[in-house]
Amino acid sequence: MDLLNTLVDKGLRRELPTREEALAVLATSDDELLDVVAAAGRVRRQWFGRRVKLNYLVNLKSGLCPEDCSYCSQRLGSKADILKYTWLKPDQASEAAAAGVAGGAKRVCLVASGRGPTDRDVDRVSKTIEAIKEQNEDVEVCACLGLLSEGQADRLRDAGADAYNHNLNTSESTYGEITTTHTYQDRVDTVQQAQAAGLSACSGLIAGMGESDEDLVDVVFSLRELDPDSVPVNFLIPFEGTPLAKEWNLTPQRALRILAMVRFVCPDVEVRLAGGREVHLRSLQPLALHLANSIFLGDYLTSEGQAGKADLDMIADAGFEVEGADKVTLPEHRRAESGAGAGCGSHESAGGGCGSHADSSGGGCGPCGSGPVEEPAAADEARTDLVAVRRRGAGTDLAPNA
């Protein structure tokens, strides 16, 4: 297939494909799916081998967000029956992080709902970062706290943060249809503030919110221009009680095509398989490891994920290996260019959601766009069999899933 040969050649040279080529990936048929995965897998292995980086989410503050992001279970007006609690204390957050590190995670992502942190919040998170680093000196810490004010990124960096996550989520042209309480440019500005402070930038997308193929390509090309170290790909988790609860558009095949397109556009970047993978990829999750080189271990922010041991078994059974703390995630040329190590990803509230919008976003768009029309993954009704609200880990007395 000439298209795939061209995209592989470009990916191995770190050359940006054209928009038409990216759209063509999304338009491939199910008969061509394994060829698409194999081609994108060659690019993934060129820059990341067979390593899979594990990341672990700690939801520092859950629910009660003043922003109106339609995908989010923590949004203003959400009727989703999620855990709601205020800030974890530093020792509580450190204890939660330790569970993920014990399970093999080399990065801990600290997420808090809200528009953005106050200076007092930054102080609180700084103490949490210090507590985590004191217990696990080599662990990477990514903060995901929403829109940043001047100087806050520098303070997080000084406290020991390695990265900052803030997702673009969707294309600029359709952003206002998803969120009205802040703008697309607000998100771009926050990512650039993090980069200017020397933090490794993590910024990604949510697929499955009713966007077209063109929207998906637009946001991925915008991310390529923004040049984060990590790009989390979330698939909408249609939570009951949110405006997008009926958006069940994705199929596993569609989700894989989206991941392949992201890999071709961002060949040497950490592509993270984030929120919604269990819901939409289901039994095809192992194929996604040929496209993404990073995943979240265990649960997400407000939804439960696959059992941590099942994640580890999946990685081993698929012929991949967990990336150790002694390995640097990004290729040497990117480390030299950015001076950073790797990125974290997840979206979730006003500005938050580390690499895993996890629970409020998630899914790829099926029939909308230039690709082939597919049957929706589920009927136009709640899928409680696929979406489970998190009832363990941070904010509870139950052991975490790690």
| Residues annotated in a binding site | 65, 69, 72, 109, 142, 202, 272
Exposure string over 64-90, b if 16+ CB within 10 A, otherwise e: ebebbbbbbbbbeebebebbeeebbeb
Query: Which one of 44, 75, 124, 202 is the catalytic residue?
Result: 202
Active site residue 224: no
Query: Which one of 44, 75, 107, 109 is the catalytic residue?
Result: 109
- Encoding tokens for residue 217? 């390509």
Task: Collect all residues with Cβ–Cβ distance below 8 Å to 83 and sequence separation of at least 6.
Answer: 59, 62, 63, 302, 389, 390, 391, 395, 396
Active site residue 344: no
Type of residue numbered 369: G
32: DSSP letter: G
| Number of Cβ within a 10 Å radius of residue 359 | 36
Query: Which one of 44, 65, 254, 390 is the catalytic residue?
Result: 65
Query: Which one of 44, 72, 124, 263 is the catalytic residue?
Result: 72
Binding residues for [4Fe-4S] cluster, by number, are: 65, 69, 72
10 Å CB burial of residue 19 (0-12, 13-18, 19+) is middle
Query: Which one of 69, 144, 344, 365 is the catalytic residue?
Result: 69
10 Å CB burial of residue 6 (0-12, 13-18, 19+) is middle
Binding residues for [2Fe-2S] cluster, by number, are: 109, 142, 202, 272
Active site residue 272: yes
Query: Which one of 115, 157, 272, 334 is the catalytic residue?
Result: 272
Q: How far apart are CA 156 and CA 314, in angstroms?
A: 34
Active site residue 72: yes
| Nearest residue to 72 via CA among 142, 198, 7, 169 | 169
Active site residue 354: no
Active site residue 144: no
Distances 290 to 37, 246, 321, 329 between C-alpha atoms, Å: 7, 30, 12, 16
Type of residue numbered 362: G
Query: Which one of 107, 115, 142, 365 is the catalytic residue?
Result: 142
HSE-up of 210 (CA within 13 Å, CB side)?
12
Which residues carry out catalysis?
Answer: 65, 69, 72, 109, 142, 202, 272
